[in-house]
């Protein structure tokens, strides 16, 4: 009987040893699932407009050494946008995520590489053409969005599904700007008598959406209807020397040459929100500026300027 109990104890010990090994498997070489979701509510409506505005997503995951571990891309359709997500297969560890959205089919921008060796290679540039020494963008810039998230912890097992879900909050870089010229007496403006440009050194972006050093971009109107000029620009940054210029071809001189950022910020406080200057510029993606012209085709500064339907009186102040 003693021999029987001895063998039984030995068998039980072997069984416990096997169970212990199975309960602590080595998952370092196995893939875990990371669910990536997207939100675009960094706008003036404070509502998620991802479904309405984002047409495609590209996401890259970099491991703790900074090397590319995974990348994924997808178009966003009306039928998939509501519950849209990307699923990444990653080993356990911490990752930095970078997203550029709106690249698919966008002929107005370039990305340095879709297969980067590091985050620094994820540079996006607004395409320009040479026009008498100027770097000109005269295209409509469709929505370009950026997001990044550092230190995302990915763990193994379906029981950790909640910790393997992250949300990327997008910032929209591209802006639509309408410049409207009008006469005080209502006489129609002949748009061919004027030319509108915006110049800003904001044509190149790093992975974290910061502005990289590059030649200034001169934005030309992509559409003109009588006295209304439609322009698209890249991200607007506080402290930049963005200039809005209106040239009179009749008088052959600039009748308006203003620091654009300073003027756009004149109406920030009219919104019932406590926003920093940069947050306002990032949230607001649509601007209109209305200038009244005198009979001699100069800007009537006494009439001020209408910015996003708000009248601003200048009183001869230099901004």
Mean pLDDT of the 67-74 span = 97
Q: What band does 250 get if pLDDT is binned at 50, 70 and 90?
A: confident
Rounded-to-integer distance, Cα 239 and Cα 241, Å: 7
Q: What band does 31 get if pLDDT is binned at 50, 70 and 90?
A: confident
Taking only the tens place, the pLDDT of each residue in 151-192 is 999 998 655 445 689 999 999 999 999 999 999 999 999 999
Taking only the tens place, the pLDDT of each residue in 266-300 is 999 888 678 999 999 999 999 999 999 999 999 99
Domains of the chain by start residue, with CATH? 31-106+142-172 (2.60.40.2100), 175-312 (2.60.40.2090)
Rounded-to-integer distance, Cα 61 and Cα 31, Å: 14
Residue 251: what pLDDT?
A: 84
Pairing of strands 175-183, 286-293: parallel
Rounded-to-integer distance, Cα 307 and Cα 319, Å: 15
Q: In the predicted model, is pLDDT for residue 22 greater than 80?
A: no
Question: Which carries the bigger pLDDT value, residue 240 or residue 1?
Answer: 240
Q: What band does 83 get if pLDDT is binned at 50, 70 and 90?
A: confident
Which residue stretches of the chain are H helix?
A: 2-23, 50-53, 260-264, 277-283
Q: Which residues pair with 195 in a beta bridge?
A: 247
Taking only the tens place, the pLDDT of each residue in 295-319 is 999 999 999 999 999 999 876 555 6
Q: In the predicted model, is pLDDT for residue 243 greater than 80?
A: yes
Q: In the predicted model, is pLDDT for residue 248 greater than 70?
A: yes
Q: Which strands sit side by side in the sheet containing 204-205, from one edge to the other?
A: 109-111, 124-126, 204-205
Q: What percent of the chain has pLDDT over 70?
A: 87
Q: Which residues contact 283 (CB under 8 A, 6 or more apart)?
A: 42, 43, 44, 275
- Per DSSP, the three-state class of 75 is strand
Under the phi-then-psi rule, with left for phi > 0, alpha for psi from -120 to 50, and beta for the rest, what region is 41? alpha
């Amino acid at each position: 009987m003693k021999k029987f109990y001895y063998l039984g104890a030995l068998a039980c010990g072997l069984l416990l040893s096997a169970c212990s090994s199975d309960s602590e498997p080595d998952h370092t070489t196995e893939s875990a699932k990371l669910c990536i979701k997207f939100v675009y509510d960094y706008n003036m409506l404070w509502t998620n407009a991802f479904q309405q505005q984002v047409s495609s997503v590209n996401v890259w995951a970099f491991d703790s050494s900074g090397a590319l571990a995974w990348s994924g891309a997808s178009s966003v359709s009306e039928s998939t946008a509501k519950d849209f997500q990307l699923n990444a297969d990653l080993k356990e560890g911490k990752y930095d995520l970078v997203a550029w959205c709106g690249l698919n089919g966008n002929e107005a921008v370039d990305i340095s590489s879709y297969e980067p060796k590091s985050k620094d290679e994820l540079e996006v540039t607004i395409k320009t053409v040479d026009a008498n020494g100027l770097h000109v963008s005269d295209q409509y810039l469709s929505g370009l969005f950026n997001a990044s998230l550092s230190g995302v912890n990915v763990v193994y097992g379906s029981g950790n599904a909640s910790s393997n879900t992250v949300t990327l909050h997008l910032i929209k870089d591209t802006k639509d700007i309408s410049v409207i010229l009008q006469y005080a007496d209502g006489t129609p403006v002949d748009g061919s008598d004027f030319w509108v440009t915006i110049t800003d050194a904001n044509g190149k972006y790093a992975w974290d959406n910061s502005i990289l050093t590059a030649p200034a971009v001169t934005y030309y109107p992509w559409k003109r209807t009588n006295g209304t000029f439609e322009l698209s620009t890249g991200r607007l940054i506080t402290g930049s020397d963005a200039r809005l210029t209106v040239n009179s071809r009749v008088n052959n001189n600039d009748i308006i040459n203003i620091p654009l950022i300073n003027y756009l910020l004149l109406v920030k406080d009219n919104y019932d929100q406590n926003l920093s200057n940069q947050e306002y510029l990032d949230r607001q993606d649509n601007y209109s500026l209305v200038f009244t012209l005198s009979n001699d085709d100069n800007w009537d500064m006494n009439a001020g300027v209408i910015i996003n339907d708000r009248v601003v009186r200048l009183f001869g102040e230099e901004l």
